[in-house]
Amino acid sequence: MNKEAITKLLQPKSIAVVGASAQPGKIGYTVISNLIKGGYKGKIYPINPTANEILSLPVYPSVSVVPESIDLAVVTVPVKFVSQVAEECGQKGIPALSVITSGFSEVGRRDLEDQLLEIAHRYGMCVLGPNIVGTLSNSDKINASFAPFLPFPGKATLITQSGALLIAMDAITYTRKVGFDKMISNGNMIDVDFADLITWLDQDENTSCVCLYIEGLKDGRKFIEACQKTKKPIIALKAGVSAHGVAAAASHTGSLAGAVKVYSAAFQQAGVVQATDLNNLFDRTLALSLLPPLKGDQLLVITNGGGVGVLATDAAERFGIPLKFAPEEVQVELKKHMPDYGSAKNPVDMTGMAGNDWYYESVKFAYTHPWTDGLAVLYCETAITNPVEIAQAVKRAIDDTGGIKDRPVLVSMVGGTRCEEAMQWLVENGIPAYGAPDEAMNAMAALREYYSIRQSLNDTNGVCAPGSSKTAREIIAKARADGRTALTEIEAKKVFAAYGLPVTAINLAKNEEEAIKFAKKTGFPIVMKVVSPDIIHKSDAGGVKVNIKDEAGVRSAYKAILKNCKAYKADADIRGIAVQEMAPLGTEVIVGSINDPTFGPTVMFGLGGIFVEVLKDVTFRVSPISKTQALQMVNEIRSVAILAGARGEAPRDRKALQDLICSYAGMIYDLRDEIAETDANPVLVYEEGKGLKVVDARIILKAKQ
């Protein structure tokens, strides 16, 4: 998408409203009225076949008869006329269309979208929508929408797939005093998408933070790339977190991957901060749009109430920014602004005696002290203080240090309407303020998360290069020629081995004698497993025997497996029995992958056994990944303590695990055109320095036409 086209869309010098109406209440009337009320300085051309004048503006029957050039056409004609209107706009040379009209793919009419896109491409026009509310911009005084007014002014920009939510959020900006410059509804996103808008907004001097409401992305990788390149904070609320695709999953990994987990991984890799709900989106946007990131973990909390101080301490820990005691010299100075029975540790409790002066002095000192990476100022309403005056003292203190610069400061005021008034004043004066200490801490955590994920984007600890794919592709081609989309375990292990993954030695025996030969070659004890494309869950079929110690054992296991599997599925195509090295016991983990419809190959890691089945303690990354990201995956599962060596156990070989996950991610990316889902389950991880072994392997191929 070219930048110029989006500039015409978002900063047009002239706008035609095609489907303008003289009838109040119609969308075509509202858009004209909003443009005028919003103070738009460019030319407005109402287009309507019969009207002469709308809100004192001359009306044209078609864009083709407008004497000047037009930058943007806002389309508000019924769906059946949209293609014809687009054709006329193309002929007129209009570079951008904002199509408010509904009635496209959201009601099953994708054909109409294809038609519209074809016309737009033919004329080189960009299309926002269809099925949108329109666009709003405070800095350009454009309300080219049917939302009632421009948002409360500020520096965030909202892009939302839900138009109704845009209108609701527009109104909330006034009650919450969270300022936005632009609000953009992108609806069905047939052309201009999140990535295009994010890229454009990166150079928009009126946008300091991009706030997203996402229902579903079309091109996940384009989104990740655009976000990674952006220098501004991006925050996203993802709606629709039901576990899509789970029902059809053929692998463990497939059944564990829900949209929410994969999106969450993608956001992290894209450098996007996440919000948990609408309120949280506002809380975090307020901080991200007004404050610099929290670059370190030395967060100081100043309060006049022990209770809110403890609540803030708890919340800080919960949100990943636990408080530390302030150093002696900081405590000594802060002690000067509190009674003897106050505490200067952290949280700094000035007690209920704290008035404007103590707040002023403490904030002024703490904000500039080199120890402080960030400052949270809390206040509980008291009868002896005035919240507005406290707010003003805090603001004056910050101003007297030269204003907000390289470290964040925010406020939480707990109380009634007087606190509400004080907080509004603070926000209007550039200091985020929150009604509850945990909201304030959550917003502070967003500033920390933003900094951390951005830092990890600078990670130079390279992506694992995939191994040679020649062998793997030959194995896959053979399976396809056989009419199979599931590889046998032996084939899957050969594919894994081709990418350097440490798999257990395995050979296919066609009869007892061969089984004995392979068992001797591998060395006892061994494991024997059925090999059949018709039996995926081998243990359930009685197709696995472990700890076979001698030749006699091989013979009886061979017979038993065949008998069990025939009983399980009489017509199963049994290709033989795999004779496999029996790996020593270790900690069970699972590594796997899916080919996500939005983001493509995505790798998963988690602890195995009960942890994966019951607790679903797994984590994802869009592939390929770096060594650092692989280590992050190892360290971010809830049960990481088990790998670190719980209850006197020796720590497990996390370095080997990191290497395995990284290579695995490289493998599934390399084979992304072939592979749908994979599992390495279990992988047995040994003590530090002793490596690991992939004991079972599963590869499901993509169905090909």
Residues that bind ligand ACO (CB under 6 A): 18-19, 21-23, 26-28, 47-51, 76-79, 81, 85, 100-103, 131-133, 163-164
**243's tokens:** 């576990």
- Residue 125 vs 453, nearer CB to ligand ACO: 125
Tokens 């295009």 locate to 196
SS3 325: coil
- Shortest CB 108 distance to ligand ACO, Å: 15
- Shortest CB 44 distance to ligand ACO, Å: 14
- Residue 186 vs 208, nearer CB to ligand ACO: 186
- Residue 128 vs 256, nearer CB to ligand ACO: 128
- Residue 65 vs 610, nearer CB to ligand ACO: 65
- Residue 89 vs 311, nearer CB to ligand ACO: 89
- Shortest CB 176 distance to ligand ACO, Å: 21
CB-CB contact of 412 with 379 (8 Å) = yes
DSSP secondary structure, 678-694, as one string: EEEEEEEE-BTTS-EEE
Alpha helix ranges (H) inside 51-193: 79-92, 110-123, 163-176
- Residue 185 vs 255, nearer CB to ligand ACO: 185
- Residue 49 vs 320, nearer CB to ligand ACO: 49
Cα–chain-centroid distance for residue 489? 34
Comparing CA positions, the residue from 530, 531, 471 lying closest to residue 496 is: 471
Q: What is the 3-state secondary structure (H, E, C) of 532-560?
A: CCCCCCCCCCCCEEEEECCHHHHHHHHHH
- Residue 163 vs 220, nearer CB to ligand ACO: 163
- Shortest CB 498 distance to ligand ACO, Å: 50
- Residue 80 vs 521, nearer CB to ligand ACO: 80
DSSP secondary structure, 335-365, as one string: HTTS-TTSB-SSSEE--TT--HHHHHHHHHH
Give the Cα separation of 218 and 302 in Å (integer). 45
- Residue 79 vs 423, nearer CB to ligand ACO: 79
Q: How many residues are present in the chain? A: 705
Q: What is the dihedral of CA 170, 176, 180, 183, to 10 degrees?
A: -20
- Residue 158 vs 701, nearer CB to ligand ACO: 158
CB-CB contact of 584 with 686 (8 Å) = yes
Residue of this chain nearest to ligand ACO (CB atom): 163
- Shortest CB 241 distance to ligand ACO, Å: 21
- Residue 61 vs 584, nearer CB to ligand ACO: 61
- Residue 85 vs 701, nearer CB to ligand ACO: 85
Cα–chain-centroid distance for residue 153? 27
- Residue 135 vs 626, nearer CB to ligand ACO: 135
**162's tokens:** 């839900």
Give the Cα separation of 135 and 8 in Å (integer). 12
- Shortest CB 75 distance to ligand ACO, Å: 7
**265's tokens:** 């991984």
Comparing CA positions, the residue from 689, 698, 678, 613 lying closest to residue 656 is: 689
- Shortest CB 142 distance to ligand ACO, Å: 17
- Residue 47 vs 604, nearer CB to ligand ACO: 47
Cα–chain-centroid distance for residue 619? 13
**487's tokens:** 């590889």
DSSP secondary structure, 361-394, as one string: HHHHHHHHSTT-SEEEEEEE--TTS-HHHHHHHH
- Shortest CB 184 distance to ligand ACO, Å: 13
Give the Cα separation of 195 and 159 in Å (integer). 11
- Shortest CB 542 distance to ligand ACO, Å: 56
Amino acid of residue 258: G
- Shortest CB 178 distance to ligand ACO, Å: 21
- Residue 21 vs 488, nearer CB to ligand ACO: 21
Q: How far is CA 520 from CA 168, 502, 548, in A?
A: 72, 21, 11
- Shortest CB 116 distance to ligand ACO, Å: 13
- Residue 119 vs 326, nearer CB to ligand ACO: 119
Distance between start and end Cα atoms, the chain: 31
- Shortest CB 278 distance to ligand ACO, Å: 16
Tokens 């530390």 locate to 324
> How many other CB atoms are there within 10 angstroms of residue 101's CB atom?
24
- Shortest CB 197 distance to ligand ACO, Å: 17
- Shortest CB 678 distance to ligand ACO, Å: 40
Maximum CA extent, the chain: 99
Give the Cα separation of 92 and 669 in Å (integer). 45
- Shortest CB 84 distance to ligand ACO, Å: 6
**392's tokens:** 């003003």
- Shortest CB 46 distance to ligand ACO, Å: 9
Give the Cα separation of 216 and 186 in Å (integer). 12
CB-CB contact of 223 with 270 (8 Å) = yes
Ramachandran class of 297: left when φ > 0, alpha when ψ lies in -120 to 50, beta otherwise? alpha
- E-strand ranges in 549-599 read 576-581, 587-596
- Shortest CB 180 distance to ligand ACO, Å: 18
Give the Cα separation of 51 and 17 in Å (integer). 13
> How many other CB atoms are there within 10 angstroms of residue 344's CB atom?
22
Cα–chain-centroid distance for residue 617? 18
